[in-house]
Amino acid sequence: MKVPEITAPSTSKLYFLKEVYYGFRPNPPQFRPEHYPDLTGKTAIVTGCNTGIGKYVLELLYQKNCRIICVVRTQEKGEQAKNEIITANPDSNGAIDIVGGCDFLDFEKVVIAGKKISELLDQTSSGALNIVIHNAGLTWLVAPNSPKSSVQNYEAMYQTNVLGPQLLQHFIDPYLLKEDDISLKRLVWVSSAAHFFTPEPYGIYWDDPGFKNTPLEQRPKGMNLYGQSKTYNIYQAQAWYDIHKEQADKIGCVSTSCYPGNLSTDMSRAWWPPFVTAAKLVVWDGVYGAYSELYCALSSTLTSKDSGSYIVPFGEIHDPREDVKAALTNGISREVWKFCEEQISEYIP
């Protein structure tokens, strides 16, 4: 992919420091479970919800009587999370379906999962699809020993966090964009403040974004690779809306990116124990990340005019880095989306 000819605005170290500090000391959440609407008759799709923030999201939605389609890599772990949540919340009238086998490191498995989702949503008893949260992700910090490249030979975080969700969304779009229950239509792309730790311009390694042709030892550090993937998520929220603007506006669908926060969850189990203990002094419990994501998914203050917004902990709209913000309106986000489409084209239904 070529470096854009559009000149990027300069970035501010002061704004960088301000946003990094805010991630550790955000304002208290103003939109919490007691403010959530009843979700009886509503359906949500949440990826990566057998652990971490996703499991909190799953439980909070279930408590509000939502039907959740949980998209996970391992069926057994998904079923375990489902059973734990149903047991802990006997008064809920919600439902949980598990779609296992969705390994974003292999496009073939994403396609299979997408077809399973379609089968569930095509059932005569299935209602409208209201919420989609692309929560699943891979970070070098949580999974330092995970594969560094995908089955298709892309850098692992790039495929898991960027290409995989964009491919899965193609299977979901026909249902999310339906003019059925338009009282609630939301699409959430989970991002991160890590996008501040990416190269300029526009947070992309333009020569080879997927590092398909780059030896492992020549790739950037994990934090930078992760940050690039999270920059893409910001672009995806805007580009998806731009592409579907007419229908999205018609049904009131809001597409946002979300930085959940600096959090401690069960996914930090791989960290060095003393580091885990120290981290808990400056980070927030994982449920706060769910508050951020569910602000995007449920808050009535958001409208389709807010599509493309970057939501920070624990439910506020901030600007991303200056050049990334500019890319949302100068055509770069659409070019990035188009480039991803080319990489997944043979798998798109």
For residue 43, report the phi and psi dihedrals to the nearest 5 degrees.
-125, 135
The band of 1, judged by pLDDT with boundaries at 50, 70 and 90, is: confident
The answer, yes or no, to whether residue 261 has pLDDT greater than 90, is yes
- H helices present in 25-106, as ranges: 52-63, 75-88
pLDDT (mean) for 273-301: 80
The answer, yes or no, to whether residue 270 has pLDDT greater than 80, is no
The answer, yes or no, to whether residue 106 has pLDDT greater than 70, is yes
Structure tokens at 278: 């120290």
- Tell me what pLDDT residue 266 has: 54
- Tell me what pLDDT residue 5 has: 83
Q: Is residue 7 part of a domain?
A: no
- The 10s digit of each residue's pLDDT in 201-222 is 999 999 999 999 899 999 999 9
Q: Is residue 8 part of a domain?
A: no
- The 10s digit of each residue's pLDDT in 160-196 is 999 999 999 999 999 999 999 999 999 999 999 999 9
The band of 280, judged by pLDDT with boundaries at 50, 70 and 90, is: low
SS3 assignment, position 231? helix
Residues 6+ apart with CB under 8 A from 169: 132, 134, 187, 240
* DSSP E strand boundaries for the chain: 43-47, 67-71, 95-99, 131-134, 186-190, 254-258, 263-264, 284-285, 310-312, 316-318
Distances (CA, A) of 3 to 157, 163, 208, 295, 339: 21, 20, 11, 35, 12
Q: Is residue 245 part of a domain?
A: yes
DSSP state of 140: T
pLDDT (mean) for 217-237: 96
- Tell me what pLDDT residue 125 has: 79
- The 10s digit of each residue's pLDDT in 137-146 is 998 776 667 8
Q: Is residue 2 part of a domain?
A: no
> 67-71 and 254-258: which strand pairing?
unpaired
- The 10s digit of each residue's pLDDT in 293-332 is 999 999 999 999 999 999 999 999 999 999 999 999 999 9
**Contact predicate 195/258, CB 8 Å:** no
Q: Is residue 4 part of a domain?
A: no
Lookup result for tokens 């959430």: 188
- Tell me what pLDDT residue 144 has: 65
The answer, yes or no, to whether residue 4 has pLDDT greater than 90, is no
- Tell me what pLDDT residue 278 has: 47
pLDDT (mean) for 82-104: 98
DSSP state of 38: P
Residue 326's domain comprises 13-347
Q: Is residue 146 part of a domain?
A: yes
* Domain total of the chain: 1
Q: Is residue 325 part of a domain?
A: yes
Mean residue pLDDT across the chain: 93
CATH code of the domain covering residue 19 = 3.40.50.720
100-121 burial by CB neighbour count: b if 16+ within 10 A, else e? bbbbbbbbebbbbbbebbeebb
**Contact predicate 292/311, CB 8 Å:** yes
- Percent of the residues in the chain that have a pLDDT greater than 90, as a whole number: 86
- Tell me what pLDDT residue 85 has: 98
Q: Is residue 321 part of a domain?
A: yes
